[in-house]
Structure 1
Amino acid sequence: MNTFKRLLQFSRPYWLRIVIAAVGSSIVGGMDALFAYLSGPIVKKLFATKDWSLLQLLPLAIIAIFLVRGLARYVNDYFIRTSGQLAIQDIRNELYRKNMGLGLGYFSRNQTGALMSRVLNDVSLMQEGVANVITGLFRDGLGAVFLLGTIFYLNWKLALIAFLVLPATVYPAQKIGRRIKNAVRQSQEKVGDLASILQESYAGIKVVKAFSMEGREIEKFCEANRGFYHFLRKSIKYEGMAVPLMELLTSLGIAAVVWASIAMIRNGTMTPEAFLSFIAAMIFLYNPIKKLNSTFNTLQRALAAADRVFESMDMEPEIVDPPSPLPLTRAEGRVELVKVSFRYEDENVLTDVSLRADRGEIVALVGPSGGGKSTLVSLITRFYDVSQGAVLIDGIDIRSLRQRDLLKQIALVDQETILFNDTIANNIRYGRPDAGDADVEAAARAAFAHDFIVEMPEGYRTSIGDRGVRLSGGQRQRICIARALLKNAPVLILDEATSALDTESEQMVQKALNNLMKNRTTFVIAHRLSTIVNADKIVVLEKGRIVESGSHSELLARDGVYNKLYQMQFKD
C-alpha cells in the first residue's frame, strides 16, 4: 500500500484531468445501470401491452445511450490515461535526477545496463500499470458501484446472494497477485542482466570481433534471456489462472441468484420483468468486477517495478553539500592533502598521504599500477570523500564548499576520452554552455584542433557520433583539451592524457597540454616518465603511500622506486 500511495502522489498535480475522467466514468456507469434497469420494463411493455410504437423508438434510444456512453468512455480514457502518462513522466525524470545526484561509488557498484533498465524498462512497466490501474479504478470501479446500487434497489435479497460471491474472490486474488509481483520483480532483474550484456557487447564490439567471441556473447545473452523467460512464464501462468477462477466463482453467484429467482417467481414475490432487469444488472456488474481483478494483477506487475524504481530513487547520495557552505568564486589554485587516508569498502587504497601543490605548480603522480594515483585525484574533485584527513583548496576544506563551486575550480582531461553524440562545438563548450563561437574557436586553436575541425564536412557543427567514433584518438583528446581550456579552471587534472596515443598524436597533444597547463596548478598521472621530466614535483605512490617525492633529477639520484621505473622504461 505504501508503494501504491506513493504512485498516486505523483498523480496529484493532474487532479483536474482525473476529475474530468471521473465525470466520464460516472456517465459510463450510469448508462450501464440505466440500460439494465430499463430492460425489464421495456420488454414487459413491448410484449404485454403490444405497444409496437415503442419498438420503433427503441433502436434510436439504444443508439443514443451507446453514443453518450461512447463519448463519456472516450473522455474518461483520454484524461485518465494522459494523467497517468504525465505522472510516469515525472517519475522517470525524478529517477534520472536522483541517479545523476549520486556519487561515483554508486555507479561503480552497479552495472550500467541494470541502471538503464530501471529508468527505461521498469518505468515503462509502471507506465502500463498506472494507466490501466487508474483507468480501471475509475471506469470499472464507478461502473460497479452504480450497478451494485441498481441490484440492491431492484431486490436486496438477491443482491446479498450475488454479493456473497465477491468476498470469496479476494483471497485467491491476493495470493495470485503476490506471486505475480514476485515473478515480475525477478523477471525485471533479468531484464537488467540483458541490458548489461547488450551495453557491454555493443560498446566493446571491436574487441568481440577481434577475438572472434561472438559465439560466447550470444551464449551469454541467450542464457540471460532464458532466465528472463523462466520468471515471465511464472507471471503468465498465474495471470492465466486468475480469469478462469474468477469466472468459476462468478458462475456460482449467478447460479444461486437464478435458483432463488425461480423460487420467488413461483411464489409470486418477484415478477419476470424484475428478474430480467436484475439478471441484466448482475451480468453487467460481474464484467467490471472481472476487469478489476485483471487490473489488480496489472497493479502487482506495476508495483514490482515500482519497488525497484523507488529503491533506486531512495538511494542517499554519499557526497552532499554542507548545510552552510563557504563561498568560493575563483580559487588561486593552492591544493593540499593533509594526512589523507581513503578506504573503499574493505580495501585500504590510500594511507596517511600528505601533499602540497602551490599555485601554478605541476605535480606528477607516478608509481606502479594500483598505487592509488587515480584515487588521489578523485579525492581532489570530491568524487569520493576522504576516510581520514582533509583535502584543502586555498586553505579551505573542500567538504565546506558546494560541489558545484568546487568543480568550477577544476578541469579534467581523462585517459578515456568522453565525448557526446553532438556537434564538435557543443562538445567543446560542454563545461561552459554560454560560451560564444569565438571562445570555442580560440580554445580549439590553443588545443591545436582548429585545423582538423575546419576540414570536417560542417566544421564546428559536425556531429561526431556516439563517443566521438568519427574522430581519431588524437583528435578526440584535443577536443577534450579544448573543452578544459574553455572552462578555464585554476586547477587541472591530467589522468594518463596521452597513454593511448601514437607518437605523432602524442606530440601534438603534448603541445596542446603545454598550453593548457600554463598558469594552472596541475596534477599529472603518467606512466610515460618522459612526459613529466619537467614537472616541479614528482610524487611516487606505491601501495597507497608516498614513498618518494622530488624533482626528476633528485629522484634519479636516489636508488629508489622512481629510478627503477625510469631504468625499466629507458634501459635500451
Structure 2
Amino acid sequence: MSLFSRIVSYSRRHWWRILIAAVASIGVGAMDGAFAYLVEPTLKKIFAGKDMFIFTLLPVAIIFLFALRGACRFTNDYFMRTAGQLAVQDVRNQIYQRNMGLGLGFFNRNPTGVLMSRVLNDVSMMQEAVGNIITGLFRDGFSAVSLLTVIFYRNWKLALITFIVIPLTVLPAQKIGRRIKNLAKHGQEKMGEIASVLQETFSGIKVIKAFGLEEREIQKFFAINRQFYFFTRKNIKYEALSAPIMEIITSLGIAAVIWIGGNDVMQGRMSAPEFFSFITAMVLVYTPIKRLINAYNAMQRSLGAAERVFEIIDEKPEIVDRPDAVELERVSGNVALQGVSFRYNDDYVLRNVNLEARKGEVVAFVGPSGGGKTTLVSLISRFYDPTEGAVLMDGKDIRQFKLKSVLRQIALVDQETILFNDTLANNIRYGMTDATDAQVEAAARAAFAHDFIMDMPMGYETGIGDRGVRLSGGQRQRICIARAILKDAPILILDEATSALDTESEQMVQNALNNLMANRTTFVIAHRLSTILHAGKIVVLDKGEIVESGNHEALLALGGLYSKLYEMQFQD
C-alpha cells in the first residue's frame, strides 16, 4: 500500500481534475442506484396501477437517465484519466531528471537500453494502471456503494446473502494479483533486455553488416523476445482466470437469492416488483465490483513496474555537493593531485598518484591500456571522487565547490565525437547556450570548421542527423573542438582526440587543437606518441601508478617503459 500511495501521491498536484471526476463519479453511482430503486415503484404503477402516463414517459425517462449517466461517465473518465496522465508525466520527468543527476558509475553499471525501457515501458505501464485504478476507485466504488444501499433497503436478509459471497472473491483476487505483480516485474525486465539489444544492434549496425552476422543477431533477438512472451503468457493466464473465478463465486450468491427470494414472492412475503428491483440492483452491483477487481489486477501490474521506476528515482547520486559547498570562480588553471587513489569495489585503478600541472602547461598521459589514464582525467572532471587523496584547483580541494561550477572550468574533447541530432550552430553552442551567432562563427573559424560549414545546404542551420552521421570523422571532431573553444574554459582535457582520423584530417584537427590549447592547462591522453612529443610533461602510467615523468627527450634517455612504447611505434 505504501508503494501504491506513492504512485497516487503524484496526482495531488492535479486535485481539481480529481475533484471534478469525483463529483461525476457520484453522479454515475447515483444513477445506478436510482435506476435500481425506481424499478419497484415504476413496475407497480404500470402493471398494478395501469398508469399509462408513466408507461408513456418511461422510454423518454430511460433515454434521459442514460444520457445523463453517460455525460457523468465521460466527465469522470476524461478528468480522471488526464489527471493520471499528468501524474505519470511527472513520474517520467522525475526519473529522467534523476538519471541526469547520477554519476558515470551508474551509467557504466546499467545498459542504455535497460534505462530507456524504464523511462518508456515501465512508466507507460504505470500510466495505464494509474488511470484505471483511480477511475475504478471513484466511479465503480460509488456505484457499488449506491447499489448496495438499495439492496439493503429493499431486503436486508437477501442483501446479507448477496454480500456474503463478495468477501469470498478477495482471497483469489489477492493471490492472482501477487502473481500478476511478480510476472509484470519480470516481464518488464525482459522488455529492458529487448530494448538493450535493439540499442546495441542499431548503434552497431555497420559492424554487424561488415561481419555478416545479421542472422546471429536476429536469433539473439528472437530468443529474448520469446522469453518475454513466456512471462506475458503467464500474465494473460492469471488475468483471464480472474473473471471466471469471480463469476463462479458470485453465481453462488445469485442462485441463493433467486431461490430464497422466489420462495418469498410465491408465499406472499415479498412483492414481485420489490423482488425485481432487488435482482436489478444485485446484478448491477456485481459489475462495478468486477471492474474493481480488474482495477486491482491493473494496480498489481503497475506496482511491478513502479518498483523498477522507483529504484531509479531512489538511487543515490555518488557525486553530490557538500551542504557548505560554494561556487568556484574562474580558476587560473593550476591543477594538482595529492596522494590520489581510486578503486572500483575492491580493485584499485589508481594508487598514490601525485601530480602537478601549472597554468598553461600541457601534460600528456601515456601507458598500456588499463593503466588508469581515463580514470585519472575523470577525477579531474569530478566524474568520480577519489577513494583517497584530493584533486586541487588553484590549491583548493574541488570537493569544497559545487559540481556545476567545477565543470565550468573544464572543456572536454573526447575520442568519441558526441554530437546531437540538431543544427551545426546548436551543437557548437551546446556548452554555452546563450552564445551569439558571431561567437559561434568565431569558434568555428578557430576550429577550422567555418569553410565546410558554409558548404552545407543551410550553413550553420544545417541539421547533422543522429550522432552527426552526415559529417565526416574530421568534421565531427572539429565541431567538438569549436564547442570547446566557445566554452572558453581554463582547463582542457583531450582524450585521444585524433586517434580515429586519417592523416589529412588529423593535421587539420591538430591545427584546431593548437588554437584550443593556447593559454589553457591541457591534459592529453594519447596512444599515438607522435601527437604529444611537444608536451611539457609526459606522465607514464602503468597499473594505476606513475612510473615515469618528464619531457620526451628525458624519458627516451631514461630507457624505461616510455622508451619501449616509443620504439614499438617508431621502430621503422
Residue 448 of structure 1: SS of its match in structure 2? Answer: coil
Cα shift at 1:327:
3.1
Residue 350 of structure 2: SS of its match in structure 1? Answer: strand
Partner residue, 2:473: 473
Question: In the aligned structure 2, how far is the partner of 1:28 from the partner of 1:568?
Answer: 83
Question: In the aligned structure 2, how far is the partner of 1:395 from the partner of 1:283?
Answer: 80
Partner residue, 2:391: 391
Residue 320 of structure 1: SS of its match in structure 2? Answer: coil
Give deviations 1:444-487, integer Å, cap 9, x for gaps: 00000000000000000000000000000000000000000000
Cα shift at 1:39:
1.1
- Which residues in structure 2 correspond to 1:56-75 (within 5 Å)? 56-75=56-75
Greater shift after overlay, 40-49 or 273-282? Answer: 40-49
Aligned residue type for 1:290: K
Partner residue, 1:545: 545
Partner residue, 1:157: 157
- Which residues in structure 2 correspond to 1:281-320 (within 5 Å)? 281-320=281-320
Cα shift at 1:262:
1.9
Partner residue, 1:48: 48
Residue 330 of structure 1: SS of its match in structure 2? Answer: coil
Partner residue, 1:416: 416
- Which residues in structure 2 correspond to 1:24-423 (within 5 Å)? 24-423=24-423
Partner residue, 1:497: 497
Give deviations 1:2-55, integer Å, cap 9, x for gaps: 110001110001111101001101111111111111112212211112222222
Residue 456 of structure 1: SS of its match in structure 2? Answer: coil
Aligned residue type for 1:150: V
Cα shift at 1:267:
3.5
Residue 118 of structure 1: SS of its match in structure 2? Answer: helix
Residue 321 of structure 2: SS of its match in structure 1? Answer: coil
Cα shift at 1:346:
2.8
Question: In the aligned structure 1, how far is the partner of 2:328 from the partner of 2:347?
Answer: 33
When the two chains are superposed, the root-mean-square deviation of aligned CA atoms in Å is 0.7
Aligned residue type for 1:121: N
Q: Percent identity over the alignment?
A: 66
Greater shift after overlay, 131-140 or 405-414? Answer: 131-140
Give deviations 1:289-323, integer Å, cap 9, x for gaps: 01111111111111100111011110000000011
Cα shift at 1:271:
1.1
Give deviations 1:500-552, integer Å, cap 9, x for gaps: 00000000000000000000000000111111111110000011100000011
Question: In the aligned structure 2, how far is the partner of 1:366 from the partner of 1:535?
Answer: 11
Question: In the aligned structure 1, how far is the partner of 2:200 from the partner of 2:293?
Answer: 40
Question: In the aligned structure 1, how far is the partner of 2:157 from the partner of 2:307?
Answer: 43
Question: In the aligned structure 2, how far is the partner of 1:270 from the partner of 1:319?
Answer: 75
Cα shift at 1:326:
3.1
Question: In the aligned structure 2, how far is the partner of 1:533 from the partner of 1:38?
Answer: 96
Residue 523 of structure 2: SS of its match in structure 1? Answer: strand
Question: In the aligned structure 2, how far is the partner of 1:454 from the partner of 1:262?
Answer: 90
Partner residue, 1:435: 435
Residue 50 of structure 1: SS of its match in structure 2? Answer: coil
Structure 2 stretches of 5 or more lacking a match?
A: none
Aligned residue type for 2:104: L
Residue 176 of structure 2: SS of its match in structure 1? Answer: helix
Aligned residue type for 1:427: N
Number of matched residues? 572
Give deviations 1:86-119, integer Å, cap 9, x for gaps: 0000000000001110000000001100000000
Question: In the aligned structure 1, how far is the partner of 2:553 from the partner of 2:514?
Answer: 21
Question: In the aligned structure 2, how far is the partner of 1:84 from the partner of 1:327?
Answer: 40
Residue 164 of structure 1: SS of its match in structure 2? Answer: helix
Question: In the aligned structure 2, how far is the partner of 1:381 from the partner of 1:328?
Answer: 13
Residue 441 of structure 2: SS of its match in structure 1? Answer: helix
Give deviations 1:322-354, integer Å, cap 9, x for gaps: 111133210101000001000012321000100
Question: In the aligned structure 2, how far is the partner of 1:114 from the partner of 1:542?
Answer: 34
Residue 21, structure 1, aligned to residue 14, structure 2: no
Greater shift after overlay, 325-334 or 530-539? Answer: 325-334
- Which residues in structure 2 correspond to 1:517-536 (within 5 Å)? 517-536=517-536
Aligned residue type for 2:261: S
Aligned residue type for 1:442: A
Question: In the aligned structure 1, how far is the partner of 2:403 from the partner of 2:563?
Answer: 38
Question: In the aligned structure 2, how far is the partner of 1:185 from the partner of 1:233?
Answer: 14
Question: In the aligned structure 1, how far is the partner of 2:348 from the partner of 2:63?
Answer: 78
Residue 169 of structure 2: SS of its match in structure 1? Answer: helix
Question: In the aligned structure 2, how far is the partner of 1:182 from the partner of 1:346?
Answer: 33
Residue 527 of structure 1: SS of its match in structure 2? Answer: coil
Residue 39 of structure 1: SS of its match in structure 2? Answer: helix
Aligned residue type for 2:370: G
Aligned residue type for 2:496: E
Partner residue, 1:458: 458
Residue 513, structure 1, aligned to residue 538, structure 2: no
Give deviations 1:194-246, integer Å, cap 9, x for gaps: 00000000000000000001011101100000110011111000001000000
Cα shift at 1:269:
2.3
Aligned residue type for 1:275: F
Question: In the aligned structure 2, how far is the partner of 1:539 from the partner of 1:46?
Answer: 102
Aligned residue type for 1:350: L
Aligned residue type for 1:111: P
Give deviations 1:434-453, integer Å, cap 9, x for gaps: 00000000000000000000
